[in-house]
């Protein structure tokens, strides 16, 4: 089994794939997904215990783990989690970095600056799209990764995430308080809470639609020619209110990690 781990700013997510049926689609090879909170004060041994408990809870023995692949956007946790995962296998985990084979043509100024998560998303999307594509990832930041063609990463757009925007309103304004990230009943708010909800939810959706239009114009194609994917913690709260037709792909990052692992075996 392959243990694929992604270290995010708010959580560490993982997926386990069967490796003995490599000819099958990724969805058929997926055993389970899980998530734990990312706390820098934990040691590698503590994370190893948590991983072992998750496997026991899902009914999979850790002895079946043969390989580990790891992507991270939190450098301070990368080696800690790698050390934790290394307790289950004899080899060092594969860490997604600039020296790892991905199959991508990365057309940005400094490819080493590309986030490991965005790299994995682009690899995952390449297996599904037949033309230009945009992958919208809604997490701590909202990122749009642009493929001008399958396997060709044209660039990235990064915007504040939904939770970060809400916290900024609460922190930087005297009369606006923290609110739940719920969809309001109407666009035009009739009270402070609904006004903020509208700005956050509908405003983010409109922002995404506007960026998709600008991306299509820069790629010199129609919006209808773009394949649009959405993933991340807040995708389900935003994309239903976009006029652009996004397909939710919750496991896209892990599918990319699975592909990267197979390219580096």
Which residue among 46, 77, 99 closes a domain?
99
**Together in a domain, 34 and 87:** yes
Average pLDDT of span 222-235: 96
The pLDDT of residue 7: 96
pLDDT tens column, 92-151:
899 999 889 999 999 999 999 999 999 999 999 999 999 999 999 999 899 999 999 999
CA distance 150 to 152: 6
- The set of residues, in sequence order, having a beta carbon less than 8 Å from that of 183 and lying 6+ positions away, is 197, 201, 237, 241
Question: Which residues are tagged catalytic?
Answer: 117
Per the domain annotation, does 122 fall within a domain?
A: no
155 neighbors 107 (Cβ within 8 angstroms): yes
Which tokens in the block code for residue 196?
A: 């903020």
Which tokens in the block code for residue 20?
A: 């003995």
Sheet holding 105-106, edge to edge: 105-106, 152-160, 141-149, 133-138, 227-231, 247-248
**Together in a domain, 155 and 235:** yes
Residue with the bigger pLDDT between 181 and 7: it is: 7
**Together in a domain, 20 and 85:** yes
The pLDDT of residue 180: 77
Per the domain annotation, does 174 fall within a domain?
A: no
Tell me the whole-structure pTM to 2 decimals.
0.92
Per the domain annotation, does 263 fall within a domain?
A: no
Which residue among 57, 78, 99 closes a domain?
99
Which residue among 47, 79, 99 closes a domain?
99
**Together in a domain, 51 and 142:** no
The pLDDT of residue 17: 97
The pLDDT of residue 37: 87
Per the domain annotation, does 92 fall within a domain?
A: yes
Phi first, then psi: give them for residue 220, nearest 5 degrees: 60, 50
- Average pLDDT along the chain: 92
The pLDDT of residue 261: 96
The pLDDT of residue 238: 94
Residue among 232, 207, 220, 104 at smallest CA distance from 157: 207
- The set of residues, in sequence order, having a beta carbon less than 8 Å from that of 190 and lying 6+ positions away, is none
Per the domain annotation, does 172 fall within a domain?
A: no
Longest dimension (CA), the chain: 60
194 neighbors 186 (Cβ within 8 angstroms): yes
Based on the structure, what is the number of domains in the chain?
2
CATH code of the domain in which 45 resides: 3.30.420.40
Per the domain annotation, does 135 fall within a domain?
A: yes
- Tell me the pairing of strands 105-106 and 94-95: unpaired
**Together in a domain, 77 and 140:** no
**Together in a domain, 66 and 158:** no
Per the domain annotation, does 256 fall within a domain?
A: no
**Together in a domain, 136 and 218:** yes
pLDDT tens column, 8-43:
988 999 999 999 888 888 999 999 999 998 877 889
Phi first, then psi: give them for residue 225, nearest 5 degrees: -85, -10
88 neighbors 3 (Cβ within 8 angstroms): yes
Domain that holds residue 30: 2-99
The pLDDT of residue 22: 80
**Together in a domain, 93 and 199:** no
Residue among 119, 126, 128 at smallest CA distance from 73: 119
The residue assigned the tokens 């594509």 is 133
**Together in a domain, 62 and 136:** no
The pLDDT of residue 175: 52
Distance from CA of residue 213 to its chain's centroid?
Answer: 22
For 96-127, b where at least 16 C-beta lie within 10 A, e where not — what string? Answer: beeebebebebeeeeeeebbbbbbbbbbbbbe
pLDDT tens column, 73-102:
999 999 999 999 999 998 889 999 988 999
**Together in a domain, 135 and 235:** yes
pLDDT tens column, 163-222:
777 777 767 665 556 677 788 889 999 888 888 889 889 999 999 999 999 999 999 999
Per the domain annotation, does 80 fall within a domain?
A: yes
The pLDDT of residue 170: 62
**Together in a domain, 154 and 236:** yes
**Together in a domain, 89 and 197:** no
């Amino acid at each position: 089994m392959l243990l694929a781990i992604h270290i995010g700013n708010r959580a560490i997510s993982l997926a386990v794939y069967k490796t003995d049926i490599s000819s099958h689609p990724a969805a058929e090879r997926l055993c389970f997904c899980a998530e734990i909170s990312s706390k820098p004060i934990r040691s590698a041994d503590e994370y190893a215990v948590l991983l072992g408990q998750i496997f026991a809870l899902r009914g999979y023995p850790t002895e079946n783990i043969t390989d580990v692949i790891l992507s991270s956007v939190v450098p301070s946790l990368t080696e800690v989690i790698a050390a934790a995962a290394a307790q289950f296998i004899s080899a060092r985990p594969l860490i997604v970095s600039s020296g790892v084979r991905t199959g991508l043509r990365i057309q940005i100024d400094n490819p080493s600056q590309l986030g490991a998560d965005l790299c994995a998303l682009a690899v995952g999307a390449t297996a599904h799209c037949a033309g230009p594509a945009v992958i919208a990832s809604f997490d701590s930041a909202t990122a749009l990764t642009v493929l001008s063609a399958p396997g060709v990463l044209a660039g990235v757009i990064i915007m504040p995430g939904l939770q970060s925007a809400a916290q900024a309103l609460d922190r930087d304004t005297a009369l606006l308080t923290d609110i739940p990230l719920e969809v309001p009943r109407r666009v035009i708010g009739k009270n402070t809470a609904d006004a903020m909800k509208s700005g956050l939810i509908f405003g983010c959706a409109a922002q995404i639609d506007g960026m998709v239009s600008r991306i299509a114009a820069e790629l010199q194609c129609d919006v209808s020619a773009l394949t649009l994917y959405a993933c991340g913690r807040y995708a389900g709260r935003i994309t239903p209110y976009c006029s652009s037709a996004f397909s939710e792909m919750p496991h896209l990052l892990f599918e990319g990690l699975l592909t990267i692992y197979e390219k580096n075996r």
